[in-house]
A and B are shown apart, each in its own frame.
Chain A
Amino acid sequence: MPPETTFYMILAFAAYLGLLGAYVGSLFWRRASLKRDSEALREMQAELERKP
Chain B
Amino acid sequence: MKSLTWLNIAAAALLATSLALVWFAAPLEASMGAVQKIFYFHVAAAWVGMVGFLITFVVGIIYLIRPNPKLDWLGAATAEVGLLLSIITTVTGSIWARPAWNTWWTWDVRLTTYTIAILIYVGYLFLRGAIEDPTRRARFAAVYGVVGFISVPLTFLSIRLWQSIHPAVIGTATPTSQGGFDMAPIMALIVILAQVTTVLVFAALTATRYRLLELQDQVDAQRALALQAESDLPSHSPATASVAK
Contacts and interface: CB of A to CB of B under 8 A. Distances in A.
B33 A4 contact: yes
B35 A9 contact: yes
B96 A34 contact: no
Contacts, number: 97
A38 B28 CA distance: 52
Nearest to A22: B84
Contacts of B87: 19
Contact of B34 (A6, A30, A44, A49): A6
A41 B219 contact: yes
Contacts of B65: none
Nearest to B221: A41
B70 interface: no
* Overall SS of chain A's interface: helix
A34 B34 CA distance: 42
A37 B32 CA distance: 51
A2 B33 contact: yes
Interface residues on A, range: 20 to 34
A28 to B, nearest CB: 9
Given A20-B88, A23-B205, A49-B229, A5 B215 contact: no
B32 A3 contact: yes
B33 A16 contact: no
Nearest to A27: B208
Interface in A11-50: 11-13, 15-16, 19-20, 23-24, 27, 30-31, 34-35, 37-38, 41-42, 44-45, 48-49
B205 A38 contact: no
A19 B91 contact: yes
A36 B42 CA distance: 37
A27 B212 contact: yes
B213 to A, nearest CB: 10
Interface string B215-240: 11011001101100110010000000
Interface of B: 19, 28-38, 41-42, 45, 84, 87-88, 91-92, 95-96, 98-99, 201, 205, 208-209, 212, 215-216, 218-219, 222-223, 225-226, 229-230, 233
Given A5-B99, A34-B216, 8 more contacts: A6-B35, A8-B96, A9-B37, A16-B38, A38-B219, A41-B223, A42-B222, A44-B226
